[in-house]
């Protein structure tokens, strides 16, 4: 039996998906949202569409309302939030995400921290990056640093959000996310 190697199958057509980006911060604005800008640039460079973008403060009620609206919007395939994944009292993004998940994807946070460990060492334990599925929409919560957003996109999401990635990817599963 021949092993299937991971990689992009160039013989398959690329499928563009719609992604919403949410920056969670009490201090970021459109003028200084470098993490959001980093994600937007990478999403568009890959050929995906930015369906929506917002910046909201670290407030559970407001975050939950926005994420729930986006999860209920059929045109949105993926939500990526940046910020609020640390351990301080104001870091509430992970708690909000988990109230919405129907299924958590623990491997995302585990892989993110493994990648991060190679760059920042044990400081990675302070990240609570997480992912899950809500109403057929993938949700990813990334730390607020630009470096963390680059790592998550460049080393995980760029592949998992590409239908051509083998041996498997999140995009090919989209039609089946609402199965019961």
Local mean pLDDT, 10-residue blocks, the chain (180 residues):
73 97 95 97 98 97 98 98 95 97 98 97 96 98 97 98 97 95
Residue 9 forms part of a structural domain:
no
Residue 121 forms part of a structural domain:
yes
User: Which CATH number goes with the domain that contains 135?
Assistant: 3.40.980.10
Please give, one letter per residue, the 3-state secondary structure of the chain: CCCCCCEECCCCCCCCCEEEEEEECCCCCCCCCHHHHHHHHHHHHHCCEEEEEEEECCCHHHHHHHHHHHHCCCCCCEEEEECCCCCCCCCCHHHHHHHHCCEECHHHHHHHHHHHHHHHHHHHHHCCCEEEEECCEEEEEECCCHHHHHHHHHHHHHHHCCCCEECCCCHHHHHHCCCC
Domains of the chain: total = 1
Domain region containing 159? 16-175
Its pTM stands at 0.95
Residue 125 forms part of a structural domain:
yes
Residue 128 forms part of a structural domain:
yes
Residue 4 forms part of a structural domain:
no
Residue 106 forms part of a structural domain:
yes
Q: What is the pLDDT of residue 103?
A: 97
Residue 6 forms part of a structural domain:
no
Residue 10 forms part of a structural domain:
no
């Amino acid at each position: 039996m021949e092993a299937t190697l991971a990689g992009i199958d160039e013989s398959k057509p690329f499928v563009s998906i719609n992604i919403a980006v949410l920056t969670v911060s009490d201090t970021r604005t459109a003028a200084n949202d470098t993490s959001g800008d980093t994600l937007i640039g990478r999403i568009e460079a890959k050929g995906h569409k930015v369906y929506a973008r917002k910046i909201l403060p670290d407030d559970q009620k407001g975050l939950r309302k926005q994420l729930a609206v986006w999860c209920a919007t059929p045109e949105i395939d993926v939500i990526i939030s940046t910020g609020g994944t640390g351990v301080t009292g104001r870091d509430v993004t992970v708690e909000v995400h988990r109230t919405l998940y129907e299924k958590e994807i623990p491997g995302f946070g585990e892989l993110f921290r493994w990648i991060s460990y190679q760059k920042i060492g044990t400081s990675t334990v302070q990240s609570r990056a997480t992912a899950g599925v809500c109403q057929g929409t993938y949700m990813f919560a990334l730390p607020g640093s630009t470096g963390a957003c680059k790592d998550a996109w460049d080393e995980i999401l760029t592949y998992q959000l590409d239908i051509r990635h083998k041996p498997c990817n999140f995009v090919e599963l989209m039609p089946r996310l609402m199965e019961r």
